[in-house]
Amino acid sequence: MIGNFPTALSFVLDREGGYSENADDPGGPTNHGITQRTYDKWKLYNGAPRRPVIEISADEIRVIYHDWYWQPIFGDELPDKVDVVTFDAAVNLGVMPAVRILQRSAWVEEDGIMGSETMAAVRSIPPDLICWASLTLRRLHYIEKRRSPFIAGWLNRVAALRQNVSV
């Protein structure tokens, strides 16, 4: 729904924290959930010189999340709650995996592309059911990666999101 981006962004930023550089994290240096690789790509796309992700500004964070995660999932067109759940998945897993989870939750072909068929299916199912299914699928995805040192945090994130959207 239009206007839920600030709510979705707030949830994500509360979970992502500040700067981290963990040797076990394949994303490398990360600040507020934005990896150095993503920041470099965004800077290049905008014709700006690269700089360390530790120096990313709050405005840059907001723009990257809006333009590279919210817009590709058509966040403004998704039903309430579904928008927040799908946005968080896009940030945590990537846009295409998040859309695939949404598609599986809506019983449509999983191609990772947010199209009219996906949107129509999502809108035809109660948002609480879509959210419940999406979060369950995310939980299963993380459990399959049980050897990761990050699993507890990922599962806590799903639990917090489930509580946040009340499903």
Report how many domains make up the chain: 1
pTM reported for the whole predicted model: 0.93
Residue 15: exposed, middle, or buried by beta-carbon count in 10 A (0-12, 13-18, 19+)? middle
Residues 6+ apart with CB under 8 A from 120: none
Residue 1: is its pLDDT beyond 60?
Answer: no
CB-side neighbour CA atoms (13 Å) of 52: 6
pLDDT of 91-150, one tens digit each?
999 999 999 999 999 999 999 999 999 999 999 999 999 999 999 999 999 988 777 888
pLDDT of res. 150: 82
Q: State the Cα torsion 87-83-140-35 to the nearest 10°.
A: 0
Percent of the chain predicted with pLDDT > 70:
98
Q: What is the rounded average pLDDT for all residues in the chain? A: 92
Span 77-104, mean pLDDT?
96
Residue 23: is its pLDDT beyond 90?
Answer: no
Tokens of 7: 């709510």
pLDDT of 24-40, one tens digit each?
777 789 999 999 999 99
pLDDT of res. 167: 62
**Cα gap 150→141, rounded to integer Å:** 13
Q: Which domain holds residue 30?
A: 5-164
**Cα gap 27→56, rounded to integer Å:** 16
pLDDT of res. 28: 85
Residue 52 maps to which CATH number?
A: 1.20.141.10
